[in-house]
Amino acid sequence: FKPEISAAVFAAEPPQLLKPIVTSQGVHLILVEEILKSELDGKLRSEIMSDLFTGWLKEQIGEVEVIKELEASSLSSKS
């Protein structure tokens, strides 16, 4: 939704018929019957947590510098 529409809808007190909202797409007439609280079910919560973790992990992998110290004995045995 356009910001002006979202702002008007969430500022409304149901039931309320909003004033006409003019945008580049035309005139919008909106009746707000009720506003429902969002619900986060277990599956959606798991998806969000997985996406956040995957993003965090990719970021960490991109920032990690891997250093492996070699012992002198392992270097001389390969010569």
- The pLDDT tens digits for 44-70 are 999 999 999 999 999 999 998 878 877
Residues forming a β-bridge with 45: none
What is the structure's pLDDT at 76?
64
Q: What is the pTM of this model?
A: 0.47
CB 32 within 8 A of CB 18: yes
Residue 22, C-beta contacts closer than 8 angstroms, at least 6 positions apart:
28
Closest of 7, 50, 60, 5 to residue 27, by C-alpha: 5
Q: What pLDDT is stored for residue 77 in this prediction?
A: 59
* CB contact at 8 A, 10 and 35: yes
